[in-house]
Amino acid sequence: RFITLPLVRGILVTAMTLAIAFGLRQFEATYLMTNGGPANATTVMGLQLYVDLGSLDYGHANAIGGVLIIIGAVLISGIRRLFGEREQTAEAKQ
């Protein structure tokens, strides 16, 4: 436990970062399977961005894109900070 987990920390950070990035840009499966679903029940932010761009509503699409970027940056920086604090405390003990 004390050897394996510190060695896997970098891989976990990378895997979680990629999972968040791919999760936030969820578009293909929703578009292909439901196209937003009945009465927009399955609309995700990526699909709404696509719909707004298609209907020439660039202001709303720009706002959605900005929110997606902010959410992604906050989540990724939180993960890096969470795993970074443990790394700094481990170095301070040595």
| pLDDT, tens only, 64-77 | 999 989 998 998 88
CB 60, CB 52: distance < 8 Å: yes
Whole-number pLDDT of residue 70: 93
Whole-number pLDDT of residue 61: 92
What is the DSSP annotation of 33-65? HTTT-GGGTT--HHHHHHHHHHTT-HHHHHHHH
Whole-number pLDDT of residue 3: 73
The pTM of the full predicted model, rounded to 2 decimals, is 0.69
